[in-house]
């Protein structure tokens, strides 16, 4: 099966998809669509017949689309539902992923967005010598990295904390979420000079099963630091 090559790309999902909001499943269907509006990942769309009208309060109307508030009892998610009227998406309905309480594929909850069926995430143990330098200061030095290969994205290097200058790391309040890896926490690097490099390191206190091997390891934004593999300085992602 070939990967999507143009947008929007629409495919039938083979999974039962349910959407929970206000204590009710406002969607429960085996006819969901995976739609790529951009290359990185798909969204779930639904046939209009699978979206109960009792939960929809129209907010706006145009030639191209109708927009609705999603309402269950006293709960309201404003402008959370879009029904497309023209083009390839005509007759399909999209619910904003973060506007509801939970999404389920079969009986498993999913987070952030649906996983792309054309993407792989592999974590491989390596013995390559990796050094990470921040503004001339070595912050990590290891021969036990774990390399994360994710389709379409730069390779990320995860380093055991025992091989990192933890005295230079300051935890921050930032968190981000990934449907493949879980919820990430962040560190800033504060050098003895007083210079601070905000949120340039992330790690997973608890990682999802397919990326369990990166649990507790830290990764640096290679775009913001100097990374050496076996003594060779690597080009920063995005640089030639």
Query: Each residue of 29-63: pLDDT tens digit?
Result: 999 999 999 888 999 999 999 999 999 999 999 99
pTM: 0.85
Quick check: 70 and 56 in contact, CB under 8 A?
yes
Count the Cβ atoms, other than its own, within 10 Å of residue 184.
18
Structure-token pair, residue 150: 């994710």
**R_g of the chain, CA atoms, integer Å:** 22
Looking at the predicted structure, is the pLDDT value of residue 240 above 70?
no
pLDDT (0 to 100) of residue 237 = 82
pLDDT in tens, 126-157: 999 999 999 999 999 999 999 999 998 999 99
Could you tell me the maximum CA-CA distance found in the chain, to the nearest angstrom? 63
Neighbour count for residue 145 (Cβ, 10 Å): 23
Rounded average pLDDT over 182-209: 96
Nearest to 184 by CA among 158, 163, 165: 158
Q: What is the CATH number of domain 121-233?
A: 2.170.150.40
Q: Which CATH number fits domain 9-110: 2.40.50.140, 2.170.150.40, 3.30.450.20, 3.40.30.10?
A: 2.170.150.40
Every domain range in the chain assigned CATH 2.170.150.40: 9-110, 121-233
- Chain centre to alpha carbon of residue 124: 20
Percent residues over pLDDT 90 in the chain: 92
pLDDT at 2: 45
Residue-averaged pLDDT of the chain: 94
């Amino acid at each position: 099966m070939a990967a999507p090559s143009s947008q929007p790309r629409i495919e039938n999902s083979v999974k039962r998809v349910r959407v929970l909001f206000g204590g009710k499943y406002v969607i429960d269907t085996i006819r969901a669509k995976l739609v790529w509006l951009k290359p990185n990942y798909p969204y779930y769309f639904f046939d209009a017949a699978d979206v109960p009208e009792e939960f929809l309060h129209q907010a706006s109307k145009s030639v191209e689309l109708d927009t609705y508030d999603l309402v269950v009892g006293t709960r309201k998610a404003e402008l959370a539902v879009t029904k497309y009227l023209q083009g390839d998406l005509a007759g399909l309905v999209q619910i904003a992923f973060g506007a509801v309480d939970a999404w389920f594929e079969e009986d498993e909850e999913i987070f952030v967005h649906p996983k792309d069926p054309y993407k792989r995430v592999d974590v491989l143990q390596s013995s390559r010598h990796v050094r990470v330098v921040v503004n001339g200061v070595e912050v990590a030095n290891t021969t036990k990295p774990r390399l994360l290969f994710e389709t379409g994205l730069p390779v990320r290097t995860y380093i055991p904390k025992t091989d990192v200058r933890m005295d230079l790391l300051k935890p921050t309040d930032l968190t981000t979420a990934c449907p493949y890896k879980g919820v990430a926490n962040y560190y800033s690097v504060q050098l003895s000079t007083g210079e601070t490099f905000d949120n340039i390191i992330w790690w997973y206190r608890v990682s999802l099963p397919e990326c369990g091997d990166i649990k507790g390891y830290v990764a640096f934004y290679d775009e913001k630091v100097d990374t050496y593999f076996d003594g060779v300085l690597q080009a920063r992602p995005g640089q030639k």
